[in-house]
Amino acid sequence: MNDLHLSSDDRNSVQSHLDELSKRLTSVIILIIILTGVWSFSIDEILNYVLGRLDPCEESCVNIFSPDEWAGTRWFSAAVIGLLTAMPFAIHQAYSFAKPGLLPSERRAFVIWMFMMWVLAFGSLVFIMAEFLPWLYSYGHSFNDDTGLIGRYDAAEMLRISISIAWAMILVLAAMSVVTIAGMSKLLWSGNAGWWRLRIHGIMLMLLWLVIPANLPGLLFTLTILASGIVELIGWKSFRASMPIGHGMQELLDFEGRVHRVLYVDCRCCGTSPKIRPLKGMGMVEFTSVCRDSEQQDNLLDVVKRFNATKVVFSGCVVESMPVDYIDSLRFLGCDADSLNLARISVARTDSNDIDCKLAMASQTEPWSEESVVKKCLELLEDSGISTILFGNEIPFGMNLQSDEAWITNPSKSLIQKIENLGITMKYCSN
């Protein structure tokens, strides 16, 4: 396996996904065409109002010099309004298509971003057409008074420039919101900033160059520099953020100096697994049944990916009981999996003593050294009243621990020797 699979992923071919994308995209395009036709009946009144706002002269100086260009601009304006009014349906189609391949945090960020952009697109279009460009055209027209020139402006050209500037503003707002939402969601940090920069700047500039008229190279250059600069300024902190830390995880060093991030998955296994405290430096997340609930499995993958966990330790779930694809997904993220098997250990004792569960936690290695494991186990056994410890590679079926007995899974030779030095009998058990 060389990729990440979620529980909602299917094994369909690439062609089937392309077919689904084609169907959804076709439905959106058909709706835009229909809405464009609907808006074409009232586009003249809308453009008349817009040109009235854009006209910088006291007496109208906006003219149509090329009827064919004006017809094209008229239909293009209707298409832009049709696109904006079709956005809710387009958002639904985009989310339905992308949802199976997104982690929970990515889904939330995607939905927030799409609806935010729909609102910002409407707001920026109104602001550009009603406030900013009228001021800009009036300011530019004022230079004609100083030179004695009489201004005559092409209505189609004014609308094309206005739409280009509004489109550029929408793209910049879209890129800014992506950076902001990704940074707040802990999806963006210095380690993957290059990946985010390539996609954000690449898509933004590609769409920007696609719309700006080719006969306006000055506008193209200016908007390119401004758009990239504003996005970099907004994302200054996010692009340089350190690796995110969450759920109490700390960076732990092994004896070779390698950095580890260990996450304790406190899965109650439908009430069969007891609750114990993780080791110092471990992060902790709580679930009810990871091995049975695919949604909880996706949530755990989300946490592992966002916070770069290098090892997960399950409290009760046995690694072998997990779906093979799920364990492969953890390995794809560079995360090892281990289990304390507390659900099995807890049923081997009838009293309320949790010494066996604590010993299972204290026996964890990587990144902890063997000396650290021995020290933690000896501290637990001192004054515990335990006189015999049963051990083996796995818990024997039907084992029943007495009040003066405890269990340790697969202890090292040094730990066995140190425990025997305490006067505790070590007894090997197997099925």
Asked whether the predicted pLDDT for residue 406 surpasses 50, the reply is: yes
Q: Lowest-pLDDT range, 55-69, 182-196, 361-375?
A: 55-69
Q: What pLDDT digit, counting tens, does each position of 58-105 carry?
A: 777 777 767 777 787 788 888 888 888 998 999 999 888 888 888 888
Higher pLDDT, 294 or 152: 294
Instruction: Output the average pLDDT for the chain.
Output: 83
Asked whether the predicted pLDDT for residue 173 surpasses 90, the reply is: no
Report the distance separating Cα 247 and Cα 301, nearest Å: 14
Per-residue confidence (pLDDT) for residue 1, from 0 to 100: 47
Tell me the average pLDDT across 122-131: 82
**How much is the pTM?**
0.73
The alpha carbon of 78 is separated from its chain's Cα centroid by a whole number of angstroms, namely 35
Q: What pLDDT digit, counting tens, does each position of 329-357 carry?
A: 888 888 999 988 888 888 887 777 888 88
Residue 265 contacts residue 210 (beta carbons within 8 Å): no
Q: State the residue for tokens 């430096």.
A: 281
Q: State the residue for tokens 């679930």.
A: 287
Tell me the average pLDDT across 107-116: 87
Q: State the residue for tokens 């098997």.
A: 341
Per-residue confidence (pLDDT) for residue 107, from 0 to 100: 87
Per-residue confidence (pLDDT) for residue 26, from 0 to 100: 93
